[in-house]
Amino acid sequence: MKLQRFKEIALDGTVRQNPTLRLVLGTCPTLALTTAAMDCLGMGAAVIFVLVFSNLIISLLRNVIPDKVRIPCFIVIIATFVTVVSMFIEAFLPSLYESLGMYLALIVVNCIILGRAESFASHNPVLDSVCDGLFMGIGFTLSITLMGIVREVLGKGTLFGATLWNFKIEFFAKPAGAFLTYALFIAIFNVCYNAVERKLKHKAGEQKHKAEVAAENTAAKEA
Amino acid sequence: MSEKTKKPANPALIAAVKAVAVLVCICVVCVALLAVLNEVLYISDDERLARAMSKIYPDYELDTEFSADLNNTNAPDGQIKNVYRSRDGAYIIEALGKGGYQNGSVTLYVVVKSDATIFGWAVKENDKQSYIDRVPATAGKTWYVGRRVDEDLQLDMTGATVAMTSTAIYNAVKTAAWYCLNTESVKNELGLIDKVALATDVVKQLLGEEYADYKFSTANIHQNATVAADDPAEQPVKFMDLISPADYPLAYLLVGEKADSDNGIMAYVYGNEDAYEAVAVKENGTVVSTSGMEEKAELLQSITDHRVIAVKIGNQMRYAVIHSYVEDGDNVKYTVSGLKFASYPNSYILEVVVKGVDSKGTVQSVTATVSGFVSGMPSESNANVLLTQLNGATADTVLELYTSHKASGATNSSDIIAAAVLAVLNDFDAKLASGN
- pLDDT at position B145 is 87
- pLDDT at position B1 is 46
Q: What percent of chain B has pLDDT over 70?
A: 93
Between CA B373 and CA B377 the distance in angstroms is 7
| DSSP conformational letter for B103 | G
Q: Give the pLDDT confidence of B250-273 residue by residue, as tens digits.
A: 988 999 988 777 788 899 999 888
What number of helices (H) and strands (E) belong to chain B? 11, 17
Q: Closest Cα partner for B211 from B196, B201, B224?
A: B201
Is residue B314 very low, low, confident or very high in pLDDT (cuts 50, 70, 90)? Answer: confident
Cβ-based contacts under 8 A for chains A and B? 48
Q: Closest Cα partner for A113 from A175, A164, A58, A187?
A: A58
- pLDDT at position A165 is 87
Q: Indicate yes or no: CB of A64 within 8 angstroms of CB of B22.
A: yes
Is the Cβ of A84 closer than 8 Å to some Cβ of chain B? yes
Q: Give the pLDDT confidence of B372-394 residue by residue, as tens digits.
A: 877 666 677 777 888 888 889 99
Does residue B159 have a pLDDT over 60? no
Does residue B351 have a pLDDT over 50? yes
Is residue A118 very low, low, confident or very high in pLDDT (cuts 50, 70, 90)? Answer: very high
Q: How far is CA A71 from CA A1, A49, A74, A118, B388, in A?
A: 27, 20, 5, 8, 43
Does residue B2 have a pLDDT over 60? no
Burial B35-54 (b: 16+ CB within 10 A, else e): eebeeeeeeeeeebbebbbe
Q: Which neighbouring-strand residues pair with B419?
A: none
Q: What average pLDDT does the structure give for chain A?
A: 91
Instruction: Strands of chain A (E only): list them.
Output: 158-159, 162-163
Nearest CA in chain B to A76: B27
Q: Is the dihedral of CA A154, A159, A165, A166 positive or negative?
A: positive
**Secondary structure (3-state) at B313:** strand
Q: Give the pLDDT confidence of A47-99 residue by residue, as tens digits.
A: 999 999 999 999 999 999 998 899 999 999 999 999 999 999 999 998 888 88
Per the omega criterion (within 30 degrees of 0), is the bond before B236 cis?
A: no
- pLDDT at position A38 is 92
Global pTM value: 0.64
How many residues can be counted in chain B? 436
Q: What mean pLDDT do residues A140-161 have? A: 93
Number of other CB atoms surrounding residue A40 within 10 Å: 28
B59 compared with A198, residue with greater pLDDT = A198
Name every residue in B having a CB less than 8 A away from some CB of A.
Answer: 15-16, 18-20, 22-23, 26-27, 30, 33-34, 37-38, 41, 43, 51, 130, 132-133, 137
- Reported ipTM: the value is 0.83
Residue A46 backbone dihedrals phi, psi, to 5 degrees: -65, -40
Q: Where are the domains positioned within chain A?
A: 3-222
Q: Give the pLDDT confidence of B40-96 residue by residue, as tens digits.
A: 988 888 888 888 888 888 888 888 888 888 888 888 889 999 999 999 889 999 999
Q: Indicate yes or no: CB of A84 within 8 angstroms of CB of B37.
A: yes
Q: Which residues contact B294 (CB under 8 A, 6 or more apart)?
A: B300
Does residue A195 have a pLDDT over 70? yes
- pLDDT at position B202 is 93
Is residue B132 very low, low, confident or very high in pLDDT (cuts 50, 70, 90)? Answer: confident
Q: What mean pLDDT do residues A113-127 have? A: 92
**Which residue in A65, A66, A84 is closest to B15 by CB distance?**
A66
Q: Indicate yes or no: CB of B19 within 8 angstroms of CB of A90.
A: no
**Which residue in A69, A84, A88 is closest to B23 by CB distance?**
A69
Q: Give the pLDDT confidence of B3-14 residue by residue, as tens digits.
A: 556 677 788 888
Does residue B406 have a pLDDT over 70? no
